Structures are given as C-alpha cells and as structure tokens.
Amino acid sequence: MKPINEFDVVVIGAGMAGITAAARLQALGRKVCVLEKSYNPGGRMATRDKPEGCWDHGAQYFTARSPEFRAQVQRWVEQGSVAHWKSPIAVWDGEQLSASRSRERFVGMPRMKAPLLDMANHLQIVYNALVTRAFRQGDEWIIEAAGSVWCAHQLIIALPAPQARALLPLGTEAYSVAASVVMEPCLALMVRTEQALGLPFAAAFVNDGLLSWVAHNNRKPGRVSGNHFLLHANPIWSADNIDATPARIETAMLQEFNRLLTHWLPGEKIPRVDAKYFHRWRYARALVQPSINKAAWPELGLALAGDWLGDGRVEAAYCSGLAAANALEKTLLL
C-alpha cells in the first residue's frame, strides 16, 4: 500500500488539543493532517443530538486564566461561538444549597464544540480514522489508520493518556510519560422531563450521593428552551459501575436525581422522564499529573498534547496543543 506522504505533520485526535496544535502549525505554513476516529471533531467537548433535543454530556463549561487562552476566548466571544454563562450555579452539600464560588464560566454556542468547528473547517481532517499503530522508521513516522498508511516527519499525539500510551513505542520516554497518568471515568445520563422543574439554579455541584453534577442544559446561552437535564456520576461510583448494564446505570442515576429533587423541590411531584440516554466516558479526567515534566521530543519529531498534561480541563488542552506545536516548530526552523 502506498503511504500518504504529502503532509509535514500528522496530528492524532481532533479534540481541543489536537485542533489547536494543527491550526497553529498550519498557520505557520506547515502541511498538516489530523486523523480522528470519530465522525466529527470535539472529543470530550461533546453534545448528544437526539430527536428529543440536545445535551452537552462531556465538558460543561470552561474557564480562562492564562493570557493566551483568555485572548482566544475573547476572539470566540466576538465571533459568537462562545458565550459567558452567567446563570446561577449552586453547591449541594447534602443538607443545603449555597451559591458556588463566582468565576467567569464560558460555553460553546449553541453547543460546547462550537468554537472548534470553525478551526476544524480550515483543517484537513480525516474522520472515521482510528489510528491503530504509529512507529518511527528512519527519520519519519509511519501511522496506520482505517486501512491507510500516512508518513510524516512529525507526529503529535493529542489523545487521553491511556490512548496515547497504547500507540507509543514501549520503552520510550514518551511512553513512560503517558503511562504515569491514570484517568478516571465519568458516567453521564441525559434526561428530559415531561414537566418543567422550577430549580433555583441552572446547575449544581453535588457533594452528596452518587452524582457530582446536575445541569439544566437549556439554561446555557444559545440553547432552545426545554426540560433537558444532564447528570454526571462521581468518579468513584463511575469507576465501580463503568461496565454495569445501561439499565442498571440509568436506574441508579435516575433514582438519585429524584431523591435530590425531593430536597430541592419539596412537596412537588417527581417528574416523569420521557427520554433518556447515557454515555460512558472511560477517560474523563486525569487523576495525577505526569511523573516526567516533558511532552515533546523535537529530535524525534514527536510531541504529546492533551488536557492531562495540565489540570485536566479545556484550557489545559488548548495550552498543551499550543505547546506541542511550538516545540515542533522550533526544530523545524533549525
């Protein structure tokens, strides 16, 4: 099979980290190709579209602290693909609700991945391309995906740590970096209730029972009105139940939602749910940071990117993508 060799750089993964890295290198004049196993970009900044409506079921919002990311978020806000989420967010401690610490929260408009779509449209992305093998041969990387072979001088692996480790050659430092990070799962349940619920918040951090987060999706800017609620289970319960049947997971999470509603809406009838979907996030968040503080090997034309190289959030994914691109670009100029 003839390898596809027209690109300088191959990026694996079209989430925030991979798209940021690819866009940066392309802006610097590199020929870049992104390989993505899914049929669309966004990764964990995901929204489930169903006939009954939409739910953001991965990242719920993001914050922006670093000057680079703040500047980027500002551009997205000006373009209209991101908005400030100002609705009240609560914290439930098992006995009472309080207001969560106030911070600037942002969401994609009208879906979480919206800011990535415009960037993705300007990139060469091959979808439905699950990369199964990547190895170095001479001064090139050979990448096997979806019955095709790519070869390029530089490779950026922008995947959750366990998925990056699976592609990296055993015994390399990059393998050790990825192998040192454990990522915890998150079970997500999307529900639509028949009646509107008069909750006194748009979303709540839950520090009691098996849920960790409850959000009224329609109270994010740019969403149509409706009764679409997103529930995330906490990491311990998610890990214990990651391979349980969908029916068991749905029943347990829904019972817990109903229990919480008896506290939050005392005296009101438990609503009927007329649509529900669930999703298993196997690698939601990194539990620990990598043991080695290094993510690029320019001499090998290799860089890693992903939120797990920082604090496990959208901003960290963005910054890791920029860092990966900058590290490889420097060697190119030598």
- Within 151-190, the residues that bind ligand FAD by CB under 6 A are 158-160, 163, 186, 188
* The one among 12, 33, 64, 155 contacting ligand FAD by CB under 6 A: 12
Query: How far, in Å, CA of 156 to CA of 164, rounded?
Result: 10
Yes or no: say if 55 and 228 are a contact pair by the CB < 8 Å rule: yes
Indicate whether 16 belongs to the interface with ligand FAD (CB under 6 A).
yes
Q: Go through 172-199 and write b for each residue having 16 or more CB atoms within 10 A of its CB, e for each that does not.
A: eebbbbbbebebbbbbbbbbbbeeeeeb
Question: In the stretch 63-102, what mask flags binding to ligand FAD with x, by CB under 6 A?
Answer: ----------------------------------------
Indicate whether 15 belongs to the interface with ligand FAD (CB under 6 A).
yes
Least distance in angstroms from the C-beta of 270 to ligand FAD: 25
Query: How far, in Å, CA of 281 to CA of 241, rounded?
Result: 12
* The one among 7, 21, 33, 37 contacting ligand FAD by CB under 6 A: 37
Yes or no: say if 241 and 232 are a contact pair by the CB < 8 Å rule: no
Give the range of 10-18, 175-183, 203-211, 269-277 binding ligand FAD by CB under 6 A. 10-18
Burial of residue 117, with CB atoms counted within 10 A of its CB: 0-12 exposed, 13-18 middle, 19 or more buried:
middle
Look at residue 118 and give its three-state secondary structure. helix
Q: How many C-beta atoms surround the C-beta of residue 208 within 10 A?
A: 15
Q: In this complex, which beta carbon is closest to ligand FAD, that of residue 271 or of residue 316? A: 316
Residue count, binding to ligand FAD (CB under 6 A):
36
Give the range of 32-40, 172-180, 202-210, 239-247 binding ligand FAD by CB under 6 A. 32-40
Strand partners, 151: 142
Least distance in angstroms from the C-beta of 14 to ligand FAD: 5
Interface with ligand FAD (CB under 6 A): 12-18, 35-38, 43-45, 58-62, 130-131, 158-160, 163, 186, 188, 232, 281, 284, 306-307, 312-314, 317
